[in-house]
């Protein structure tokens, strides 16, 4: 898996990918998979962006995407998100920032 994918980056660097948002805040990204399958029997997976305090010492909130991938098992759903490019992950972060409430 290429280092330019979310999974490839996490595998090579053994840590979450991190991004600076257009709101001036720092975020790291994780994959979130639903605990149970939907009516079709598929597990949904989304990206969870953890927002960090200005000094980076603690999380202060988070943003989420809509479900971006599905799979017949939780691992299959997560693997589909691991295959997306870091450029697409950054784009999803920016969309989540735009959708965030004004008081965020």
pLDDT, tens only, 3-45: 899 999 999 999 999 999 999 999 999 999 999 999 999 999 9
pLDDT, tens only, 41-80: 999 999 999 999 998 899 999 999 999 999 999 999 999 9
What's the pLDDT at 1?
Answer: 75
What's the pLDDT at 103?
Answer: 60
Asked if residue 92 is part of any domain, the answer here is yes
What's the pLDDT at 60?
Answer: 94
Q: How far is CA 88 from CA 6, 35, 84, in A?
A: 9, 24, 6
Residues found in the chain: 104
Count of domains for the chain: 1
N-term to C-term CA, the chain: 35
Containing domain of residue 56, as a range?
A: 6-99
Asked if residue 104 is part of any domain, the answer here is no
């Amino acid at each position: 898996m290429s280092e330019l994918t979310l999974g490839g980056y996490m595998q090579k660097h053994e840590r979450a990918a991190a991004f600076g948002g257009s709101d001036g805040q720092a975020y790291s990204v994780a994959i979130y998979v639903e605990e149970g399958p939907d009516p079709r029997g598929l597990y949904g997976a989304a990206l969870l962006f953890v927002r960090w305090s200005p000094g980076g010492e603690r999380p202060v909130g988070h943003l989420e995407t809509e479900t971006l991938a599905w799979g017949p098992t939780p691992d299959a759903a997560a693997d589909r998100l691991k295959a997306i490019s870091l450029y697409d992950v950054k784009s999803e972060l920016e969309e989540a920032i735009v959708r965030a409430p004004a008081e965020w």
